[in-house]
Structure 1
Amino acid sequence: MQVQCSSQEPNHTKAKHMKEMSELFPILGLLFSLISSTTMASFDDYTSFVYVGCSQSKYILGSPYQFNVDSLLTSVANAATFSSYNNFTSSAASGSSPAYGLFQCRVDLSVADCASCVRSALDQLSSLCPSASGAGVQLKGCFVRYGNDSFLGEPDTTLLYKKCGSVVPGGGYNSDLLGMRDAALSGLSGGGGSYRVGAGGHVRALAQCVGDQSVKQCSDCVAAAVAQLKDGCGVANAGDAYLGKCYVSYWSDGVYTSRHYHGGVSGKTLAIIIGVTLGLVIMIIFLSFIRRTGK
């Protein structure tokens, strides 16, 4: 009697394996989504809170000034959907109590991200400065301010917020770092425009002024911010200084990613860690599936 051999699995076994494989796809999809969202949250933190300032005076609810403020902030939200900067004066409800305001987004944000950032900033204003006659909030990616004083076009070098990175241990590296930092910051003084960049060795720097500033006003504000960083951050490997009408940041390669801190871990390192973790998890799931089907 001739016996025919076949390498094909019985139909019920194949069906079982296919069912097991199909059950793994949703798990892998969920895992990838969770890790991806964590990765994006780590890199894309343009709505992270930096500082807020609220006036002590409050407007009267239902007053003409409140209607002017509400109209102004609505204009800010609408304008952020197609531009990265604009300023407004709202006096429709009452010409005797106008409201002034502006918004500005970081130059590298897309229009969609700018609009998202401004919406988040407006939410922060309403929750942190309810009924304030004037207020301003700075997020990582945008700035919104309003008030009853005509601050539009006026210079303002008041220090509002400063943050320094880690202090580098002593040694010859300190003098090298300071030299590179000073060279990078010095590069911000040259040229015009509201956005400026500088570099020195492996230190990078940038500055951005509010759009209502002239070239001279911007240069004066940047110079004041640079002085704050040099005086206050010493040999720190990174620093941010936010003034009334500009901000300046500097960082050493590997410390910042997209100009934001990541808990001391560089963006590149974080990406490698997450990628390796994802690969190991997928491999473990795959090997587990192979063992199960082998049985």
Structure 2
Amino acid sequence: MKMRFNSYFSILLLLFLLSFPCVISDSIWSTCNNASTYTEGSTYSSNIHRVITDLVRNTPQSSGFNTSSFGQSPNKVYGLLQCTGNISAEKCSTCSRQANKTLRVYCPNDIGGRVWMDDCFLRYENYNFISTLVTQISVLSDWRDVTSNVKNFGFTTSSLLFNLSNQAYNPANNLFAVGKANYSPSEQVYGLVQCWRDLSIPDCRECLLTARQAVENCCSTSRGNKAVSGSCTVRYEIYPFYDSGEESPHPTISTPPSPEVPSLPKTTSETKSNKKFSKFLPIILGLGGGIIIAVVIFLIVIRKKIRAAILGIAETVLNHHG
């Protein structure tokens, strides 16, 4: 009886949680090294502070990308800061400072961590990860699907991200491209692809391919998706989420080759992740629908139990009188 109740409760809890879609806008996503922690005031702590301070101060003036390292093993710290595309130095500086604060909240005293903001990415570790491809991808999705021109939406989005990736491979574009395309006469989808500038062109190609495939395999009809890794990011939305000044010349939408098979992923030392979202927005309709479904299932279960109990009592009474 107790096991059955736990099963019913788990189902209801799952339905309730599914009613809260993850919203990409202003999203923050972080992972922590989790291998070990450091003590405040230690040599490693001082080295982290020096590396991140150097990144936050110099990256906005270095075209939005910089790496830094300081110290001697085993207390040496490596860091990387990448701002999105060609945003202004002011925006890059603001995002860099916020990323530093956010990482301290999400990964306090952790020997390594990463944080993805809307306009920048910050990472530090106790090992040299610079120019090393990370193939592990996480997808942050708006689980609400588009409701019109669904088939053409998926095709257009896939083609847009494919063409933007081809633009990003050009070293002159700093491994970055944004653009938009119409999936109906009056509706557009906006896309962004970017590799961190420490990557080689072949590694950037593999990272973006893996990210695009992760989006397509997960939720290609969602109104928005953001695939992130420690080396690149791919994002699309049905609204403008980047500065219009960043937009690349509109590419001619061409069909991506099918299937597009990547080479085998490189082996990377990925530690356990501590993933957290900073913002969740409950959608009233989704929440209401989830609760209604949960309540209906609950009532059905209760009704069956009451009916079974009544039948059991009736049977007992009949047997007694018989």
TM-score, scaled relative to structure 2: 0.60
Task: Tell me the residue number matched to 1:189.
Answer: 165
Task: Pick the aligned partner of 1:243 from 224, 229, 242.
Answer: 229
Matched position secondary structure for 1:190: helix
Distance 2:179 2:201 in 1: 17
In 1, Cα distance between the equivalents of 2:78 and 2:102? 18
Q: Quote the offset at 1:199 in angstroms.
A: 4.6
- Structure 1: distance between partners of 2:60 and 2:26: 19
Match of 1:157 among 135, 154, 162: 135
From 14, 26, 33, the equivalent of 1:55 is 33
User: Matched residue of 1:166: which SS?
Assistant: strand
1:103 to 48, 61, 81: 81
Q: Is the 8 A contact 1:197 1:206 kept in 2?
A: yes
Q: Which runs of 4+ in 1 moved over 6 A?
A: none
- Structure 2 residue runs of 5 or longer lacking an equivalent are 1-24, 183-187, 244-280, 282-322
Q: Does the alignment pair 1:130 with 2:86? A: no
What is the aligned length? 210
C-alpha contact 1:76 1:86 (8 A) present in aligned 2? yes
The equivalences for 1:1-295 within 5 A come to 48-56=26-34, 57-83=36-62, 84-91=64-71, 94-164=72-142, 166-169=144-147, 173-191=149-167, 192-193=170-171, 194-197=175-178, 199-201=180-182, 202-252=188-238, 255-258=239-242
Corresponding residue of 1:40: none
For 2:237 and 2:105, how far apart are their aligned partners in 1? 32
Larger Rg: 1
Give the CA deviation at 1:95: 4.1
Report deviation, 1:144. 0.7
Q: CA deviation at 1:195?
A: 0.2
Equivalent-residue separation in structure 2 for 1:199 and 1:186 (angstroms): 12
- Partners of 2:76 and 2:232 lie apart in 1 by 25
CA-CA distance at 1:235 after TM superposition = 1.6
RMSD value, Cα = 2.5
1:113-163 superposed Cα distances (whole Å, 9 cap, x missing partner): 111110111111222222110011111111111010211110012113422
Structure 2 CA distance for aligned equivalents of residues 96 and 215 of structure 1? 32
**Gapped regions of structure 1 (runs ≥ 5):** 1-46, 264-295
